[in-house]
Amino acid sequence: MKQLSKVLAAFIVALTLIAATGCASTAKHEGTGEYVDDSVITTKVKAMLFDEPNLRSGQINVETFKGVVQLSGFVGTRADINRAVEIARGVKGVESVKNDMRLK
């Protein structure tokens, strides 16, 4: 019985370590907390772009990975690109902005 308890305890510890490792981030994969943070950043950037009357926010795609926001899509003017980048940079939690937007 004592041996079974030790094996069960070791199994639980191993399972806990595996679960914790699965939530940790790597260079190419985010941890659970980072994914939630990035989702919040993406949502905030999209909302702010939507609120900007001169931008067609539906044509701008927003993706975030580890605080780096990537903007892509097609816009009408260079001023639209600059404004979208400026808006994204102003969102709390944004580390940097990658601009992949193109002019129509």
20's enclosing H/E stretch is: helix 2-23
Look at residue 54 in the predicted model and tell me its pLDDT: 86
State how far the Cα of 60 lies from the Cα of 102, in Å rounded to an integer. Answer: 10
Quick check: pTM over 0.75?
Answer: no
What domains can be seen in the chain, in order of their start residue? 32-104 (3.30.1340.30)
Q: For the segment 11-59, what is each residue's pLDDT rounded down to a tens digit? A: 565 555 555 555 555 555 556 555 569 999 999 999 999 999 988 878 9
Q: Taking residues 50-79, what's their average pLDDT?
A: 93
